[in-house]
Amino acid sequence: MISYCVFIIIPVLLVGNIANQVFIKSIREQTYNNIQGTLHQMSDNISYKMEDIVRVSDMLYFDSSFNNRLRYSESTWVSYDTMVNVLIPKLETAINTANSKIWLSIYLRNEELREIYNNYSYSDPLESNTRLFDIYQYERLVDKTWYKLYPQEENYGSTLEWKQVENDAGNGRISLLRRLIDISSIQLQEIGFVRINVSLEDMFESMDYNKIGDGTALYLSDSQGRVILSSGGVQTTVFKENELRNNGDLLIRKPIPVLGWNLIAVVPAEIVEKDTVKIRNLTLLICLICIAIFFIVSIVISKYFSLRVSKIVSVLDSFQEGAFHKRAQFKGNDEFTHIASALNDMGSNIGKLINEVYLADLQKKQAELESLHAQINPHFLYNTLSSISRLARFGMLDKLQRMVMDLAKFYRLSLNDGRNIISVKNELEQAQAYVDIQKIKYDERMQVTYDFEPEVVRYETVKLILQPFIENVLEHAWTGDYIHVRITARVLEEVLEFKIIDNGVGFPPGRVLDNTGGQDLTNAGYGIRNVDQRIKLHYGSEYGVTLFSRAGIGTTVRIVIPLVKRTVAEGRSKKLM
């Protein structure tokens, strides 16, 4: 029944969708062409206004007599005459010839020509009724950041550039920037700089969304996608093109070549596709009626089979979650009964195999742990008995007694009633007992400091993880008359960290020290490998030993295990999550 339903619905959906898409495409193309023409006209109007401002700058740039008078001032009278009869009239003429209201600033290298400028008191000069030109000395310009980045003149007129600098963006202005060059010289010597400000609203007054239609919006964006101006009641600083396209809105872009900016019209999808709603709704209604009829029929007919399939799927889901005790029971002798019987047998067999493999793996890991732990005790005992033998040979009975007592304490804590897990408190006491044994041997030549955070005693660890590294320091890192060892224990975010730090000779170059990148500690010594393997077997591969060393400076051993809190009452532990 579902297949028949699909065969009926697909043609209806296909025909309706094709008709709808063709209609929408036709409407969008027509709308696009109409708006493209409007944007082209707006772009031409904007370009005309910009060319008018460029023409004003040309009046200053290519006027040879004006150019010559700016370069030389033979006397104070000549400077005055240039200012009164040449510079000011020329600037006033340039401003009056512009079809837009502009604010002209000129910076002169000729220091004999005095400055003339207004104090606008933080107001916009274009909105004032005062003189709309200012004359400055060049020293006011050279420290400006935008001027330092301004390109050099490579040929006549090459540096003309439209740009928003200083407070232009905040005041809604744009500037035409241009270097004034000595046009009588072939060396392109700069004699001044011109900046012409014009209001964005004045420059882009032809931007009007009403020319496109109600509900539309117009954006003027720069080359980085920042919105300079917007029309149509939209207030934004960034043009979110991807978001608009995802909404199905129609976007028409018209570049403004002089600026490198874009004039963008946005027509909402509901406006473009308003005439297609009826066709789409009718198509959806027919499809929904067909789907409802055949859905009801298919449910009635397939209910008997779907219940059995659902039960088999439920058992399979339970198997996937590890519950192999679930069973599916059907009456009769059809295909579902045979499938259920085979599924029940499979679950029973898989459950037995998993239990067997799990128990075997636990036994193997326990044997490995006991084997590794058994190796470390004889290693320490051999070295300690050698020291006791030397004390007995020299008749140092007091030291011999203390060493035997410390050794007894060490092994009493190490035995731990046959358990491989020990409290951190007892592990630290083991390490201190070992250090006390060695201090009897080395006296003042060996100094050990401890830095244990109080809260570490609440946790437990694999036993005998500190003593092998202290022993390595005394056996391999000590070559002079004195050795200092620092032992720390602290609780980090989710782990317990131990460190054994010495100032010995360090590892020689070329030795493998760090196992954090997946390397092993094969070259780091038997004791180090033993501790690292025991930690990994018990807690997992993400924990273990990391070594850092530099020849001649010393070595730091870092041991990391998970935070496992010890329960005093029952002797059991619970891992912190």
In this structure, are residues 117 and 136 in contact, taking their beta carbons and an 8 Å threshold?
yes
Determine the Cα–Cα distance for residues 508 and 495; give it in Å rounded to an integer: 30
**pLDDT class of 515 with cuts at 50, 70, 90:** very low
Does the pLDDT at position 569 exceed 60? no
Does the pLDDT at position 375 exceed 70? no
Residue 68: strand, helix, or coil: helix
Determine the Cα–Cα distance for residues 494 and 561; give it in Å rounded to an integer: 9
CA distances from 557 to 245, 350, 463 (A): 58, 45, 17
For the ranges 160-164, 444-448, 475-479, 569-573, which has the lowest average pLDDT? 569-573
CA distances from 321 to 311, 314, 316, 326, 361 (A): 16, 11, 9, 11, 21
- The confidence score (pLDDT) of residue 560 equals 95
Q: Could you give the angle at the alpha carbon of 422 between the alpha carbons of 420 and 428, nearest 5°?
A: 130
- Which has more pLDDT, 279 or 546? 546
In this structure, are residues 521 and 511 in contact, taking their beta carbons and an 8 Å threshold?
no
Tokens 């219940």 locate to 307
**pLDDT class of 528 with cuts at 50, 70, 90:** confident
**pLDDT class of 518 with cuts at 50, 70, 90:** very low
Tally of CB atoms within 10 A around 149: 8
- The confidence score (pLDDT) of residue 215 equals 73
State residue 552 phi and psi, 5-degree precision: 85, -10
Does the pLDDT at position 247 exceed 70? no
Q: Which residues pair with 488 in a beta bridge?
A: 451, 499
In this structure, are residues 399 and 440 in contact, taking their beta carbons and an 8 Å threshold?
yes
Does the pLDDT at position 22 exceed 70? yes
Determine the Cα–Cα distance for residues 206 and 559; give it in Å rounded to an integer: 73
Does the pLDDT at position 433 exceed 80? yes
Phi-psi region of 560 (alpha: psi -120 to 50; beta: other; left: phi over 0): beta
Mean pLDDT of 11-18: 74
Mean pLDDT of 330-357: 77
Q: DSSP secondary structure string, 145-169?
A: HHHHTSPPPSSTTTT-EEE--TTHH
Mean pLDDT of 502-528: 60
- The confidence score (pLDDT) of residue 428 equals 92
Q: Between the ranges 27-31, 81-85, 560-564, where is the mean pLDDT highest?
A: 560-564
Q: Which residues pair with 555 in a beta bridge?
A: 502, 549
In this structure, are residues 108 and 135 in contact, taking their beta carbons and an 8 Å threshold?
yes
- Please give the structure tokens belonging to residue 129: 């009724």
- The confidence score (pLDDT) of residue 92 equals 86
Does the pLDDT at position 512 exceed 50? no
In a 10 Å sphere around its CB, with 0-12 CB exposed, 13-18 middle and 19+ buried, how is residue 568 labelled? exposed
Mean pLDDT of 489-516: 78
- Please give the structure tokens belonging to residue 474: 């005394």
In this structure, are residues 224 and 246 in contact, taking their beta carbons and an 8 Å threshold?
no
Determine the Cα–Cα distance for residues 406 and 396; give it in Å rounded to an integer: 15
- The confidence score (pLDDT) of residue 520 equals 46
Taking CB atoms within 8 Å and a gap of at least 24, the contacts of 272-277 are 272/24, 272/27, 272/28, 272/31, 273/24, 273/27, 273/248, 275/23, 275/27, 276/20, 276/23, 276/24, 276/27
Stated pTM of the model: 0.44
Does the pLDDT at position 365 exceed 70? no
State residue 419 phi and psi, 5-degree precision: -90, 145
- The confidence score (pLDDT) of residue 96 equals 86
**pLDDT class of 487 with cuts at 50, 70, 90:** very high
- Please give the structure tokens belonging to residue 16: 């309706």
- The confidence score (pLDDT) of residue 457 equals 92
Q: DSSP secondary structure string, 312-366?
A: HHHHHHHHHTT-TT------SSSHHHHHHHHHHHHHHHHHHHHHHHHHHHHHHHH
Mean pLDDT of 313-336: 74
Q: Percentage of the chain with pLDDT > 70?
A: 81
Determine the Cα–Cα distance for residues 441 and 400; give it in Å rounded to an integer: 10
Tokens 């008749």 locate to 395
Determine the Cα–Cα distance for residues 440 and 60; give it in Å rounded to an integer: 97
Q: Does domain 369-575 have CATH number 1.10.1740.10?
A: no
For the ranges 68-72, 138-142, 422-426, which has the lowest average pLDDT? 68-72
State residue 517 phi and psi, 5-degree precision: -95, 15
Determine the Cα–Cα distance for residues 212 and 250; give it in Å rounded to an integer: 12
- The confidence score (pLDDT) of residue 448 equals 93
- The confidence score (pLDDT) of residue 460 equals 92
Does the pLDDT at position 120 exceed 90? no
Does the pLDDT at position 306 exceed 60? yes
382-415 pLDDT, tens digit each: 767 877 887 788 777 787 788 788 888 777 776 6
Q: What is the largest CA-CA distance in the chain?
A: 123
- The confidence score (pLDDT) of residue 501 equals 94
Does the pLDDT at position 265 exceed 80? yes
Tokens 């018990």 locate to 538
- The confidence score (pLDDT) of residue 369 equals 53
Does the pLDDT at position 453 exceed 90? yes
Mean pLDDT in the chain? 78
Mean pLDDT of 445-452: 92
40-65 pLDDT, tens digit each: 888 888 888 888 888 888 888 888 88
**pLDDT class of 298 with cuts at 50, 70, 90:** confident
CA-nearest of 365, 373, 385 to 415 is 373
**pLDDT class of 574 with cuts at 50, 70, 90:** very low
Tally of CB atoms within 10 A around 517: 5
- The confidence score (pLDDT) of residue 513 equals 47
Determine the Cα–Cα distance for residues 419 and 461; give it in Å rounded to an integer: 11
**pLDDT class of 418 with cuts at 50, 70, 90:** low
Q: What is the DSSP letter of 238?
A: B
In this structure, are residues 319 and 351 in contact, taking their beta carbons and an 8 Å threshold?
no
